[in-house]
Amino acid sequence: QTLSSLLAQSPPSPSSPHESPSSSSAIAESLIAELFAIVSAIKASYAELQLAQNPFDPASIHSADLAIVAELRRASDLKYSYLADPDPDPNPNPNPSPLLSLLREQRNLLRTYEVTSKQLESDLDSLDSRLRALRSDLSDLAHANRALESRLRGQPRSLAGLHLSGLDPTHLLAALRGAVSAVKSFVRLMARRMERAAPPWDLDAAARSAHPAAAAALRHPRHRSFAFVSYVCHRMFSDFHHRDFNLKPLAERRAWDRRRFFREFSHVRSATARQVLDGGLVGSPGFDQFRRAKYASVVGPKMEAALFSSSAAAAAAGGSPETEWAVGFAEVAIRVWALHCLFYSFGEEMGPAIFQVRRGSRFSHVYMENVERDHGPVGVGIGGPGGGPATVAFTVVPGFRVGKTIIQCRVYLESCEGERTVVIS
């Protein structure tokens, strides 16, 4: 019953000999304070009873149960005492002080808050345990996927004898591996040229200049190669999503269909850099213009002059610009050209697309592979950090999408928060 219903059942009699306005007010105040103290004690004991359920603690449950029963009896005694004599004589049996009841109520509220705090700590521990279990499951899945990826890498698809009817995304992956391998070889050659130039280049400064995002992100000197590979790939794959690479000399490629692109791919897939330097790719219109345009974009006259300013340095590096250096870049141009032709050999229904990731994007196992995981060829699989969120510092190798197949882009990670979208062009 509520306090108001109790008072309504038996109002004080105005004829009571003990009645006075001050004593009635004091009795009501004391009664209300005591009721609030009892209610707060019941709430605190009930909270302790709930906390003792999980983990199960019989002793605590029994203690809390006895405390609840005791408070309920106390409330019952208070009720019947009031109903028996709504206006007792305050002199022989003074009621408890309202301040003492208030103090008891506050202590019970404090007990309730302490129990709630313990319950929240228990919930937090439970969530932490679940998080650790999920991370362990994720690690196991990543390990299994890496094993599957290793099997895929061990069995690369051959591009020899390929027919248009048998084309699938794994052939594009094989062509991409060839292009990236050529880029890495050229980057190693470029780094040697920088070290042997006169005067020698500062490779750290060169890496920061090649990729500004690498300035604060690179964690080890050997990671400079990632910045150089990213720089070369960015220049070589620029305008890759245009049939003509956005170059006027290649304008006729805009009208090519997938069969014409595949014929061009079949023509150049086995070509060598020496063939290009000796007489060009006969029957491949526009390739020489493409190679020159990309060379100007990647190297340019200023870099070439700085790298080959000394004939002694050039000789020490293994020859003149017309030999090893030119062969290395010609190989890159051939592989990117062949990859481009194969890319457009897929029909529009497959929706082929190339994509890279903006700096600050949150790492995604679906679209990205952590370039630090290993230094092997690119592939389809799970990569990324072992735990905790990570974001992308820069894209090293772009990714591709053909139909429902994703060839992950390779990214260099930095440890910071943030999330942006993956850009697919």
318 phi, psi to nearest 5 deg: 115, 15
Task: Work out the percent of the chain whose per-residue pLDDT is above 90.
Answer: 30
Q: What pLDDT sits at residue 155?
A: 54
Q: State which H helix or E strand residue 405 sits in.
A: strand 405-407
Is residue 388 pLDDT above 80, yes or no?
no
Is residue 172 pLDDT above 90, yes or no?
yes
Among 340, 103, 382, 351, smallest CA distance to 243 is for: 340
DSSP for residue 81: H
Selected residue with higher pLDDT from 313 and 321: 321
Q: What pLDDT sits at residue 290?
A: 94
Helix (H) and strand (E) counts for the chain? Answer: 14, 7
Would you say 403 and 332 are in contact if contact means Cβ atoms under 8 Å apart? no
Selected residue with higher pLDDT from 127 and 98: 127
Is residue 11 pLDDT above 70, yes or no?
no
Say whether 394 sits in a helix, a strand or coil.
Answer: strand
**What span, in angstroms and rounded, lies between the C-alpha atoms of 153 and 174?**
9
Q: In terms of pTM, does the model score above 0.95? A: no
**What span, in angstroms and rounded, lies between the C-alpha atoms of 389 and 374?**
20
Distance set, CA 353 to CA 22, 88, 121, 399, 406 (Å):
88, 90, 49, 9, 10
pLDDT category, 213, cuts 50, 70, 90? low
- How many CB atoms sit inside 10 A of residue 361's CB? 21
355 phi, psi to nearest 5 deg: -145, 155
Q: What pLDDT sits at residue 322?
A: 56
Tell me the residue type at 136. S
For the ranges 96-110, 145-159, 380-394, 403-417, the one whose mean pLDDT is highest: 403-417
Least confident of 104-118, 220-234, 265-279, 333-347: 104-118
Mean pLDDT (whole number) for 272-291: 85
- Cis ω on the peptide bond leading into residue 17 (within 30° of 0)? no
Say whether 390 sits in a helix, a strand or coil.
Answer: coil
Tell me the residue type at 259. R
Would you say 370 and 411 are in contact if contact means Cβ atoms under 8 Å apart? yes
Mean pLDDT (whole number) for 340-360: 92
| Residue 388 CA to its chain's centroid (Å) | 8
Selected residue with higher pLDDT from 198 and 213: 198
| Residue 391 CA to its chain's centroid (Å) | 6
- Show me where the domains of the chain are located: 3-127, 164-349
Residue with the two structure tokens 């999330």: 419
Mean pLDDT (whole number) for 211-226: 75
Among 233, 257, 269, smallest CA distance to 157 is for: 269
Structure token digits, residue 356: 């890279």
- How many CB atoms sit inside 10 A of residue 398's CB? 23
Q: What pLDDT sits at residue 329?
A: 94
Handedness of CA 248, 251, 254, 256 (dihedral sign): negative
| Mean pLDDT for the chain overall | 79
pLDDT in tens, 55-86: 777 888 888 888 888 888 888 887 777 777 66
Q: What pLDDT sits at residue 121?
A: 85
Tell me the residue type at 101. S
